[in-house]
Structure 1
Amino acid sequence: MKRIWSSALCAVAGSLFFGAFQPAHAAGNYPSDPMSVASGQELAEIHCAACHAVGPEDASAQPGAPAFRELGQRYPVSSLEESLAEGIVTGHEGMPEFAFAPDDIDDFLGYLTSLQAR
């Protein structure tokens, strides 16, 4: 599979494939200021909404694509940090591999954390 490098995340579901990682942030300790959360939301809307529900009430466009607001019910959102930095490899066709810049990871996970609290 051709490696795609981007400051986007569409492969959240693929994050279940990594092992024991110690995140740099404690769970829920991502940026919560309005600018960072808005930046994370923009990343989700631009790069992930074609498949995933990225808002507080929308439906996923692709069947089986988990809604971002429900990810915290499946596993700790902070567990995505390493795979976002290293590149997520997914288990099914059509889902690209991504690697994020550190600031994008923080903003994106700040947004994801804000969705879990609603």
Structure 2
Amino acid sequence: MIRPMVNRDSQFFWDGTAAGELRVQKCNSCGDLRFPPGPACPSCGALDRGHVVTAGTGTVFSYVVHRHPPVPGKELPIVIALIDLDEGVRMVGEVVDVADTEIEIGMPLRVDYNRIDDELTLPIWRRA
């Protein structure tokens, strides 16, 4: 399996998935939420960052069905969606237990977690 890159900007996110929380970076200066996380707020430039725990719900904004080439550790097809979180940010995620013919824009989703090993828990998305 290809593992995601974890660094000081994203460590809080991966700590959250291990704890069963979907965390999104928040600027402690202006309050804006952002994903993916980064070192400075794109709205105000502040370096004072924190995070919020989201409700873990959202809707499909867009999606793609990956059919080829093979992906190590995955069975094809893979449904990948751009998800509008209820908190107002978007993130990319794998949608499971929804057939590639059933996925649709606007479909409500909820986050779940796939524990790979002691060091990695991935967020996955299911029909709400």
Question: What is the TM-score with the length of structure 1 in the denominator?
Answer: 0.25
Structure scoring higher RCO (CA < 8 A, sep ≥ 6) equals 1
Question: What is the TM-score with the length of structure 2 in the denominator?
Answer: 0.24
Greater helix percent: which structure? 1
Larger radius of gyration: 2
Greater strand percent: which structure? 2
